[in-house]
Amino acid sequence: MKKPGILYRFKLWLTASSIFTFVGVCVLFAALIILIRSLVMRNSYEILLACGILLLMLIIGITGFWKSRKLKSLTPGWKPPYPMTAAAPGQAGKMIETTQITGLISSIPFFFRLHFFIKGNFSPSGYSKQAVKKKTFSGGCPVFIETSIPRGDTSAQVTFELPMSGIFQGEGYCKLRDIFGFFSFSCGEPHPETIKVRSAPCFGKKNHVNTQSGAEDRRNKPSADEERYYMREYTPGDRLRDINWKSSDRIDTLITRISTDNQEKINRIEVHFRNYCRIDNHGKQGISLEALWLLDRAKARLVYFLRSLMEQNSSFVFDVYASKTQGGEQQHWEIEDMDTLDAFFDDLAGLSFAPLQNEPAAETNKGELYIFSTACDLALPGFLLTCNQRPVTLFISQPETDRSKSSLLKIPKMSNTEIEFLKPYDFYSKGCFISPRCFTSGKIKPLSVSTNKMEINYAEIKV
């Protein structure tokens, strides 16, 4: 990425390390130039104007410095919504979630306002400079958000959204600024936060899993434990035959017998999330923003798949396999309830690409296999060949291809499927700055694959 210019770095230094703002420095230099010129030309009107500006800046500077010293103990807190979800592109009616700011002070002098800043680095789809060096995409995106606190308020709200899933690492802090924009004084200590941003929701077809196709696990109750129960108060929906009438009559309250174990059939569903991509310095396909957008949409489809099936049948247990970003080791999650599902969604938000590698084939003695991948996964056709003895359902995110080329590549064209676009405005409008080069580099071609069942989600970068 091209290094920022001298003027931009000078402005950044002024706003971060100096009490003067960029506007304040410009006004100060202008007033000094007018004063020097007026003294040489002996123009009393210009001398009066320049001295008035300098006197006003001096009074405001002394007042702001004195008040900022009293606000050193200020400890502002900011709490983003949990879970924090990326802003869905193209959804105009989406409810905007705000971040709550607390711990502010109301005694602010006249001609001053308290400003709250959120500053940090956002790694789209968990991708960062520490993960892979010398890559196509630069990695982190600077984030800078500012809001003014109304006088007399001790709390406020700020709109803090990000365009896609990933990890945000930053801090929130306060500054005391005058209404003319000359000075900016630091107040209190910054409050650091690390936030995992989940993908914007995606909706697709309802998935119906054949319970006979998955691996089954039956929890058998030993005969010695048949009479072991624990009791609780009766709630609507409990079976009448489980009521302990003797105990209920003794305490005049309905008591239900609950077994310490159950004999319900548990259906295990195997899911592979293939977050693979070619990561090198000479390959034609590297990690670009388009690749990260495809990965984000694959995450959203996986979230919808798991959540919808868990809501349909709470007895499902998911075995989810994915690769860690560093090293490429395969990681396993066992999801059996809503709590473990919610924890997995947090891990999934920070999961980025892993380098291509040889991986073991899926077991052949189990039922249907569900695979989520992207067009960046060049090893996907080989993996599907190793799974030819099992029924496979593939969910793939890739860019749209022309109708003339789709027949040659054997890629079905889904006319009723909308393309999910990511635009540069989605970044800049949310205070997230990224180089325009990232929107055009690394064009990805659709992947030619064939399997029993396949659902394609189209996603592209729209400049």
Report the C-alpha gap between 460 and 349 in whole angstroms.
20
Q: Is the dihedral of CA 206, 212, 213, 215 positive or negative?
A: positive
Structure confidence by residue, pLDDT tens digits, 34-73: 999 999 988 889 899 999 999 999 999 999 888 888 888 8
Please name the residues in contact with 438: beta carbons below 8 A apart, sequence gap of 6 or more.
137, 138, 288, 289
- Alpha-carbon distance 342 to 305, whole Å? 13
Q: Under a CB-based contact definition with an 8 Å cutoff, are residues 414 and 457 in contact?
A: no
Tens-digit pLDDT profile for residues 446-455? 888 878 788 8
Tokens for 233, please give them: 């108060």
In 3D, which of 368, 394, 199 has the Cα closest to residue 294? 199
- Determine the angle formed by the axes of helices 6-17 and 22-41, rounding to 10 degrees: 100
> For residues 224 and 291, which has the higher predicted lDDT (pLDDT)?
291
pLDDT recorded at residue 259: 56
pLDDT band at 201 (very low <50, low <70, confident <90, very high): confident
Which residues touch 197 (CB under 8 Å, ≥6 apart)? 84, 85, 86, 122, 162, 164, 165, 166, 167, 168, 349
Pairwise CA distance, residues 21 & 27, whole Å: 10
Which range among 265-269, 297-301, 338-342 shows the weakest confidence by mean pLDDT? 265-269
Which ranges of 214-336 does DSSP label H, i.e. alpha helix? 245-251, 289-312
Residue 83, preceding bond cis, omega within 30 degrees?
A: yes
Q: Is the pLDDT of residue 100 over 90?
A: no
Phi, psi for 49 (deg, rounded to 5)? -65, -45
For residue 136, give the H/E element and its range. none
- 3-class secondary-structure state, position 310: helix
Neighbours of 249 (CB within 10 A): 11
CB 275 within 8 A of CB 323: yes
Alpha helices in 266-416 (DSSP H): 289-312, 338-349, 380-386, 403-409
Q: How many CA atoms lie within 13 A of 367 on its CB side?
A: 15
User: How far apart (Å, rounded) are the C-alpha atoms in residues 145 and 319?
Assistant: 40
Highest mean pLDDT among 128-142, 414-428, 441-455: 441-455
CA distances from 299 to 51, 307, 419, 446 (A): 61, 12, 16, 18
Is the pLDDT score of 1 beyond 50? no
Distance, CA of 125 to CA of 166 (rounded, Å): 4
End-to-end CA distance of the chain: 18
Please report, rounded to a whole number, the percentage of residues in the chain having pLDDT higher than 70. Answer: 72
Residues 351, 275 contacting (CB under 8 angstroms): yes
Q: Return the percentage of the chain with pLDDT > 90, whole number.
A: 16
pLDDT tens-digit profile of 288-325?
A: 888 888 999 999 999 999 998 888 887 888 999 988 76
Residue 166: CB atoms within 10 Å: 27
CATH numbers and ranges of domains, the chain: 1-70 (no CATH), 228-262 (no CATH), 265-461 (3.40.50)
In angstroms, the CA 273 to CA 207 distance is 17
